[in-house]
A and B are shown apart, each in its own frame.
Chain A
Amino acid sequence: MLQLDLRDKVVFVFDGEHAVGEEIIKLFSEAGAKVLFLGKSNLDEDSLVLKYKEDASSFEVGSFNLKDNSFLKVIQDQIQVDIIINNMEAMTGKDVMDISPEEWENGLFTNLHIPFQLLKMILPLMKNQEEGAVINISSTSAIDGGDGDVLYAASKSALESMNKALSRELGPYNIRVNGLSVGSIPNDKDVESDLHSIPLNRFATPTDIANAALFLSTPMAGYISGQTILVDGGKTLL
């Protein structure tokens, strides 16, 4: 029997502004969870917006500057977090020679340093609860180099190693740490001919990713920890 009932659970989603994040919010809300999401503001590149979604309603909690970490103070006020999903994502789309040190540092800040700080804040809460699930969303770029964006591929493979180390440390607290390695979600550049390299003959959809995140968050995945599941239509390893 499927155990997708997440009533009484609180899920914290980092970066809930992208298509995948939005789908995660939708699915988890439908499963009954209260969803907190922290995403980049559409208005200001240097801002994060924390929103709270319960049932069908959502409201903005506040806008925070990315650089001064003021958003961390808001997290401290939370009393329960059962599931953390990290989908923070910055990429350069540039060749290694053209990525400036500032662009690199900004990318690491978004992809790794913010998630680290959020985890530092939230995990003590989860440890007290002696139960929890952490999901870091990475990319098949960590395995195959993607389109050659060193910032993106490096950040995502760093997350996958972090999953392994964290799962060892948090296992005794009944906290599972896993990852999703996401394959191609179509964008403007993708064309039908690219499908030939994907055995399932279709691109990933945000729902594919959100479904896998939902599975890893539930007791159905209760013995899975330290893993990164490829959600790529079979492309990377076949």
Chain B
Amino acid sequence: MGKQKTVLVIGGAAGIGKDVVINRANKGDQVVFTDLNNKAGNALVEEIASSGKNVTFLQHDVSSWENTKEIVEKTVNKYGKIDILIHSAGITIQKPFDEITYDTWKKTFSVNLTGLFYAVKAIIPEMLENKRGNIVIIGSGSAITGTGGGVHYAASKGGAFGLMRAIAKKYSHFGIRINIVAPRVIETEMLNQLYPTESSREKLLSKIPVNKIGTLSDTTNAINFLASEESDYIQGQVLLLDGGRTYLT
């Protein structure tokens, strides 16, 4: 999928982001990834180094504008440009509406939506300078279905849709592409907690037409496609990654 790229992965030390970091490093891209979790970030750097590849890790509080600006500056200083931003940072504090406190509501938005706003606000000037750029946001099927994570989570992830479309509207003419990959259930540690027994897994599988829970490879493949030239005519879209579950059942 093209030549060596400079890729910034925000929220790259675990789950979907981590898989993308490993994948892009193995492809030979120049990868900078960030995460709030310093320990997990450094561990991933070592893991990748053991296979002979190098990536850069920067600790990052996505809810801080100053910090986000600094992350983009450091990445540009190191590699001269950023071709691709993959935004994978997010939190889920699953609760029914009655139990969502105002603090939980605001915290969820500060990470899931304000964090995304800061990242886009910081990176757009760089991409305008290059007259090219590609942003892929890891969204969630919750924004479409209203399930999983709670009202605050669904709303914060839904906010990403409008943000993405406003950016697409404004910057398509400047060579900047932006799209969302919206997974539903993906094999992660979190899924094991949500569906710990074999019977709960069976029940889940029965709701998914392709009879498979999504894998990290599925998400990484979708992200890489949207981040590539092969998808050059896809703009402002949400790619729902759900094995057919949302609309076929």
User: Within 8 Å of chain B (Cβ to Cβ): is A164?
Assistant: yes
Query: Which chain B residue lies CB-closest to A147?
Result: B169
> B102 is contacted by which of A117, A161, A168 (Cβ under 8 Å)?
A117
**Number of residues from A at the complex interface, CB < 8 A:** 46
Q: Given A116-B105, A155-B159: A150 and B97 within 8 A (CB)?
A: no
Chain A, Cβ-Cβ closest to B102: A117
Q: How many A-B residue pairs have CB under 8 A?
A: 142
User: Interface range on chain B: under 10, 10 to 19, 20 to 34, or 35 or more?
Assistant: 35 or more
Chain A residues with CB below 8 A from B154, complex form: 161-162, 164-165
A155: B residues at CB distance < 8 A: 159, 162
Of A19-27, A82-90, A104-112, which stretch is located at the interface?
A: A104-112
Chain B residue with minimal CB distance to A149?
B166
A145 touches B145 (CB 8 A): no
For chain B, what secondary structure do more than half of its interface residues adopt (helix, strand, loop), or is it mixed? helix
Residues facing B in A139-164 (CB within 8 A) are 141-164
Task: Assess whether B151 is in contact with A142, with CB atoms less than 8 Å apart.
Answer: no
A161 contacts B158, C-beta separation under 8 Å: yes
B155 within 8 A of A: yes
B146 touches A167 (CB 8 A): yes
Also in contact, A168 and B146, with CB within 8 A (given A145-B169, A147-B169, A154-B159)? yes
* Residues of A close to B125: CB separation below 8 A: 97
Is A212 interfacial (CB 8 A cutoff)?
A: no
What are 5 A-B contacts defined by CB distance under 8 Å? A112-B109, A150-B163, A154-B113, A155-B162, A165-B151
What is B's interface to A at a CB cutoff of 8 Å?
A: 65, 96-98, 100, 102, 105-106, 109, 113-114, 117-118, 120-121, 124-125, 142-147, 150-163, 165-170, 236
